[in-house]
Amino acid sequence: MKEKEFEKKHDHREHHHHDGHRDGEFLSVKDLTVEYTSGKQVVHAVNGISFDIKRGHSLGIVGESGCGKSTVAKAILRILPDHGARIAGGEIWYKGRDLVSEPEKRMEHIRGAEISMIFQDPMTALNPVKKIIDQISSVIRLHNPGMTKKEAEEQGIKMLRRVGIGEDRVRDYPHQFSGGMQQRVEVAIGLSCNPDLLLADEPTTALDVTIQAQVLDLIRDLMREKGTTLLLITHNLGIVAEMCDDVAVFYGGEIVEYGSKREIFKNPSHPYTIGLFGAVPSLTGEGERLKPVEGIMPDPSDLPLGCKFHTRCPYATEACSEGEVPVVQLGGTHYCQCHNIEAVKAAQEKEAAK
């Protein structure tokens, strides 16, 4: 019975756009589906997405807020809320093991030690009534049971110093720090046990622009130092350009376009991706107005049929509002989930010629 299901999933995967890679990959997410239920309402936050990351590489998931990006990270760590949220299907292969079916005890050893996460808002992600040294050293001790309290604290102080927090501040409480400093603490805690994979959920969104760059630099340096793999979730294409090797564009719980950074930035093909680029100020195009993506995110509990983006898409045809949307390989690792790639391209070129 179990085997059959397994086969079926694999079967399904054959048709999907990421077929062909081996299960021995570092992190490989296949057909992941996450649902939130409240009462009788079912919200499809993540709808059968697949992607993978090679060891030491970094993937950026880009999309508007409310599109289910953070849910992906929480699903990987299996820390979705106990009530009303569940992984409805799919697999998360990590070092040859499927995290979806790992026992909870195993997951506890993986969380924080092998895979760690940095949350969006440092103000709320640190325990307000614990000194930061205690917060970091308790994590270190948890994953290094042999360590004494003193050793763990020393390790914690070392880690905090690495992110620029002097020893004189380590016995302070979170509220005594600025937002940027708090996020440094978060980074320190996240990397304190040398994880193999770091999930960063909008790590700089709550910070001032000047601080953003510092924190990003810090994350990048530490990752280079330790060879950490990164899954970065953001709505900011600039951050992706700076931090990531590959990009997944996320809309309505699906990945609508996927490719290397070069492929996506050179040749954005999905109308939504194009729209996102239209909303980024460019340094060369003088006097051009920013074009926001028209309309609003559809209600995730009431997603449209067919292509999820067709309600906002300026190129939508009748075919877009029904049935499955084919995934088209545009070359190399570049995939796009759209009916009208050609037409969009043509329209783009026409516009550019004008």
Partner 1 sequence: MARYILRRILITIPTILCVTILVFSLLYITPGDPAEMILGSSATEEELASYREFLGVDRPYLVQLGDYLYRLFIKFDLGDSWLYASRITDEIKNRLPITFAISMYSILIAVATGIPMGVYAAVKQNGAFDKFVLVTTSVLHAVPNYVFAMIFIMVFSLQLNWFPAYGIGSLKHYVLPCMCIFISNFGSMARSMRTSMLEVIRSDYVMAARAQGFSRNVVYFLHALPNAMIPIVTQLGGRFAGALGGTLILETIFSIPGMGLYVQGAISKRDVPVILGNVVFMSIWFCLIMLLVDILYAALDPRIKAQYIAQSAGKRRKRS
Partner 2 sequence: MTELKKVPTGGKPEAGVREKKETQLSMILHRLMKNKLALTGGIIFLCLCLISLFAPLIAPYDWSAVDPVHKLMHPSAQHIFGTDQFGRDIFSRIVYGGRYSLTLGVASTLFSTLLGVVVGSIAGYFGGAVDRLIMRFIDMIQCVPGMLLTICISVALGSGIVNTVIAMSFGGIWGTARMLRGQILTVRTSEYVEAAKATNNSSFRTIVKYVLPNSIQQTVISACMGIGGAISGISGLSFLGLGVQPPLPEWGAMLSDGRNYLRYYPNMLWAPCIVIALTILSISFFGDGLRDAMDPRMKD
Cβ of 140: how many Cβ atoms within 10 Å? Answer: 23
**Binding partner 1 by CB under 8 A: which of 25, 31, 98, 121?**
121
Residues 6+ apart with CB under 8 A from 340: 271, 315, 316, 317, 320
Q: Which CB atom, from 202 or from 246, has the smaller least distance to partner 1?
A: 202
Q: How far is Cα of residue 150 from the mean position of the Cα atoms in its chain?
A: 35
Cα 209–215–219 angle (5° rounding)?
145
Q: Is 315 in the site for partner 2 (CB under 8 A)?
A: yes
Give the nearer residue to partner 2 in terms of CB position, either 140 or 313. 313
Instruction: Please report whether residue 288 would count as binding partner 2 according to CB under 8 A.
Output: no
When the beta carbons of 25 and 121 are compared against partner 1, the nearer one is: 121
* Distance of closest approach, residue 120 Cβ to partner 2, in angstroms: 18
> Where does this chain touch partner 1 (CB under 8 A) — which range of 29-37, 73-81, 256-264, 320-328?
73-81
Min dist CB 343 to partner 2, Å, is 4
Instruction: Considering the complex, state which of residue 3 and residue 82 has its C-beta at the smaller distance from partner 2.
Output: 82
The one-letter amino acid at 46: V
- Fill in the per-residue mask, 221 to 240: x = in contact with partner 1 (CB under 8 A), - = not in contact: --------------------
Q: Which residues pair with 94 in a beta bridge?
A: 27, 97
User: Choosing among partner 2, partner 1, none, which partner's interface includes residue 247 (Cβ < 5 to 8 Å by kind)?
Assistant: none
Looking only at the bridges linking them, the beta strands covering 229-234 and 58-62 are parallel
Output 193 or 344, the one with its CB closest to partner 1: 193
Using rule CB under 8 A, residue 283 touches partner 1: no
Angle between helices 271-278 and 341-353 (to 10 degrees): 30
Which residue in the set 20, 39, 166, 285 belongs to the binding site for partner 2 (CB under 8 A)? 39
| Helical packing angle, 149-162 and 132-143, nearest 10° | 120
Q: What are phi and psi of 175, to 5 degrees?
A: -70, -10
- Among 18, 44, 69, 143, which residue interacts with partner 1 (rule: CB under 8 A)? 143
When asked if residue 171 is in the footprint of partner 1 (CB under 8 A), the reply is: no
DSSP string, 112-162: TTTEEEE-S-HHHHS-TTS-HHHHHHHHHHHH-TT--HHHHHHHHHHHHHH
**Strand positions, DSSP E, the chain:** 27-38, 41-53, 58-62, 85-94, 97-98, 115-118, 197-201, 229-234, 246-251, 254-260, 327-331, 334-337
* Site for partner 2, rule CB under 8 A: 39, 294-295, 311-318, 340, 343, 346-347
* Site for partner 1, rule CB under 8 A: 74, 77, 79, 81-83, 104, 108-113, 116-117, 119, 121, 124-129, 139, 142-143, 173, 175-176, 189
